Chain A
Amino acid sequence: MAATPTSVDQVREGLQSVGYLPGESTALVSYLATRLGKPVLVEGPAGVGKTELAKALARYLDRTLVRLQCYEGLDEAKALYEWNYRKQLLRIQAEAADTGWDRVQDDIFGEEFLLERPLMTAIASPEPVVLLIDEIDKTDQEFEAMLLEVLSDFQISIPELGPVAAKTTPVVLLTSNNSRELTEALKRRCLYLWLDYPPVEQELAIVRLHTPELSEQVARKLVEVVHMVRELDLKKPPSIAESIDWARALLLLGADDIDADLFKETMSVIVKHRTDLDIVAERVGVRLGPGPPSGVGSKAA
């Protein structure tokens, strides 16, 4: 497996080599995460590559990715561990009647009867892993509080067994769409990374990386249009993933330029609210000249 990186540039190149183009701060914070062994809280709008960062880190560091998808009502039985009580019941029934209580009790609270959930898996794994706790803002505060022990000490206390400490230090990423403020206690334990929409050049590189067949000129225009759309006040601005989808769609259509008509037909790939569609058609559609390209890029307003 890959050794721990020793410089920021190594991380940047490593992430690039597995198909993720990190920004300046992304590479730096990822590097710090591997060096300091602290979890990273990644926040930002939807679709800027928060989850993708975790996957890329796992590929680059050659570690298994353990993913915990959060949702409202997620509890410790689904995140940490659970006693396999069916098996415990069977065990008790299978016992001969004259077995002493003490023996049964010892037996049924052993590791054999423990169902590992993602956090437990990450902690107990003999190989270091990348642990992704996705959309932490979807859970409630009690769950956050429960995470504190895992995140600061990398251990889980099971009342019947005692604390289970991590054998190796996992790289932990928590992502949040910023739909609610996380607790100070959780933030305090994390490094913070704010991922925003990338600047034109970087996004162009990302689009080109995913659709190398698309001509540079079309790709550039596409990214410029997407940036223009993001500047409008929309309910859901287009994400990087949607830029890539759009690039793929244009590639399938064999487009060699983006004009007003083509934009009108394909803009539903990047804009997905009816009211947003109206705004975009009104503000952006008219700026793209009909037919042949009109000058170089268009200016942001």
Chain B
Amino acid sequence: MAPRLPDPGPPGISARLIELGEALREEGVAVGTSELLDAFAALEEVPWSQPEDFREALAATLAKSPDDRRVFELVFERFFFRATEAAAVRAGIKEGAAGGQVGGDSDGEGQQAGDIDLDALRQQIAEAIRDGAESAMRDLARLAIAAFGRQGTGSGVIGVDVQRIRRQLGLRSEPQPDLPPEDPRHDGLPRDELRRFEQLLRRELERGQIERTEQLPASRPLNELDRALPSGPLQDLAAVHRVVAQLRRRLATQGMEARGRKRHAHVDVRRTMRASLQTGGVPVELRFRPRRPRRPEIFVLCDVSTSVTSASVFFLSVLHALHDTFRKMRSFVFIERISEVTDVFERERDFAAVSDAISRDAGVADISGYTDYGRVWNEFRDAVADELHPRATVIVLGDARTNGRDPRAEVFGQIASLAGRTFWLNPEPRLYWNYGDSVIAAYEQYCQAFECWTTQQLEDFVKALTKPMTGV
């Protein structure tokens, strides 16, 4: 259907929306002209006076995946907040001058804070948070800033101020049994509402700052997805799962894409016969059976010595989360000896629990706790040599630092010749390879080596791993 051009509406709204589109694009949301046209069309149908409807109509037309939606919420909030504030700065409007009770300006704040009964305020705020009363929370956030905010000057860092105010208000999500039972804080406060209150505090503090300095702070880009791999075993579990979920979706897409080309595998007799009816029963056009994505058998060997342990466990978690992509998967960890951990991953789904189980009962370190590659290759060869065949894939994750021991690259070479493909993932940047006790060059002649220290690199590798085979 033909997109309609928007009525001019209140002056400048079209321009604002296009700017919003720009801001979304900067954060990596694919907003095309057609999306913007849809947004305009949608806005003709909903009343603008309802902030919820306005926002949802834009979200439905501009943000088309859960990730995009998350970014959209952040950008939307920031964009319109900044737009209003910028307009206020231009017009020289100050809340203090308009008779508002709290502003960023410090005069008058002193005696106001004196007027407020601090305990009653704590109580009121806790009640508002418990009930999730949005507008009450906003008003009380301003009061709280007036009361506790800038005694002296404030730290100048908004995040620090927010936490300081929250502590002074005694707001916690855990129950506080020493308070009287009628106090809402006695049973703890709902976490989401608490976070919302912190957001409001932050917003009000920012507003104050903008008023004082009369300019907007530089906007920070939101994108933190292409960051380094989780560096500690206690890193945010949700982040790990988010990466895995994204990876799984991309893989599912990617398998299909690669299937479209080079479909010269097998003639599909049934479909060829059916197609031949159009040409009077003569099979002029051959129909082929679609290629199935490759489901490799993989053997994973991960170094779990302290230098690379988090990268290894992370990598193993990713592979196991993707286990249905593979026909068969066995995983081993090693330091001085190897130990099979396939079961651990099938049993445990918690990233932290897995690291725990591995460090506790894998029994891979004998004496020194230093990696002994030579011994590891021997043990690995003894354990799986019978199962290796040309369609199996061996993946090693390690920094190839032998601590001065014999690398025994010829044993590794034997393993690599038994397996169809052999990959080495090195969690060190390529710059450090072959410096010090790193002997990756000795192994690289038998396998393909990748550097792997960001989620992007990891993703590229997993893609390569599951790509449909060209031969066979």
The tally of residues in B whose CB lies under 8 Å from a CB in A reads 44
Complex Cα gap A30–B250 (Å): 29
The verdict on B350 contacting chain A, using a C-beta distance below 8 Å, is yes
A279 CA to B348 CA, complexed, in Å: 10
Contact of A188 among B34, B52, B66, B256 (CB under 8 A): B34
* A43 and B259 alpha carbons, distance in the complex (Å): 25
Query: Would you call the interface of chain B mostly helix, strand, loop, or mixed?
Result: helix
Assembly CA distance A8 to B57 (angstroms): 11
Question: Chain A: which residue is nearest B192 at the CB level?
Answer: A300
Q: Give the chain B neighbours of A300 by CB distance below 8 A.
A: 190-191
Of the candidate stretches B38-46, B150-158, B214-222, B360-368, the one touching chain A is: B38-46
**Contact of A233 with B by CB under 8 A:** yes
B296 close to A (CB within 8 Å): no
Contacting residues of chain A (172-210) with chain B, CB-CB under 8 angstroms: 178-181, 184, 187-188, 190-194
- Which residues of B in the span 337-396 have a Cβ within 8 Å of any Cβ on A? 347, 349-350
**Is B25 in the interface zone, CB < 8 Å from A?**
no
Q: Does B49 contact A (CB under 8 A)?
A: no
In the complex, what residues of B have CB within 8 A of residue A25's CB? 56, 59-60
Chain B residue contacts of A235, Cβ below 8 A: 349
Among B35, B45, B249, B349, contact of A31 (Cβ-Cβ < 8 Å): B45
Residue A79, interface by CB 8 Å: no
For residue B252, CB closer than 8 A to chain A, the reply is yes
Q: Cα distance A41–B257 when bound, in Å?
A: 21
Is A99 part of the contact surface with B, judged by Cβ < 8 Å? no
**Which residue of chain A has its CB nearest to the CB of B348?**
A275
Asked if A142 is an interface residue, CB under 8 A from chain B, the answer is yes
Give the shortest distance, in Å, between A259 (CB) and chain B (any CB): 20
Residue A245, interface by CB 8 Å: no
Is the Cβ of A299 less than 8 Å from the Cβ of B187?
A: yes
Q: Which residues of A contact B59 (CB under 8 A)?
A: 25, 192
Instruction: Choose among B63, B248, B249, B252 the residue that contacts A192 (Cβ–Cβ < 8 A).
Output: B63
A244 within 8 A of B: no
Whether A140 contacts B259 in the complex (CB less than 8 A), given A8-B53, A181-B249, comes out as: yes
- Quote the shortest CB–CB distance from B196 to chain A (angstroms): 14
Task: Decide yes or no: A184 and B249 within 8 Å by CB, A28-B53, A41-B64, A194-B66 being known contacts.
Answer: no
Chain B residue at minimum C-beta to C-beta distance from A25: B56
Of the candidates B66, B187, B188, B350, the one whose C-beta lies within 8 Å of that of A43 is B66
* Complex contacts, B41 vs chain A, CB 8 Å: 36
Q: Which residues of B contact A36 (CB under 8 A)?
A: 1, 38, 41-42, 45
A contact residues around B30 at 8 Å (CB) = 184
Which positions 221-275 of chain B face chain A at CB distance < 8 Å?
A: 237, 241, 248-250, 252-253, 256-257, 259-260, 274
Query: Do residues B53 and A181 form an inter-chain contact, with CB atoms below 8 A?
Result: no
Complex contact B256–A8 (CB within 8 A): no
Residues of A within 8 A of B250 (CB): 181
Residue among B60, B63, B69, B191 making CB contact with A28, cutoff 8 Å: B60
Residues of A within 8 A of B (CB): 8, 24-25, 28-29, 31-32, 35-38, 41, 43, 73, 85, 137, 140-142, 178-181, 184, 187-188, 190-194, 233, 235, 275, 279, 299-300
Instruction: List the 9 closest pairs (A to B, CB-CB), nearest first.
Output: A180-B252, A192-B64, A187-B64, A25-B56, A181-B253, A35-B45, A28-B56, A191-B60, A29-B60
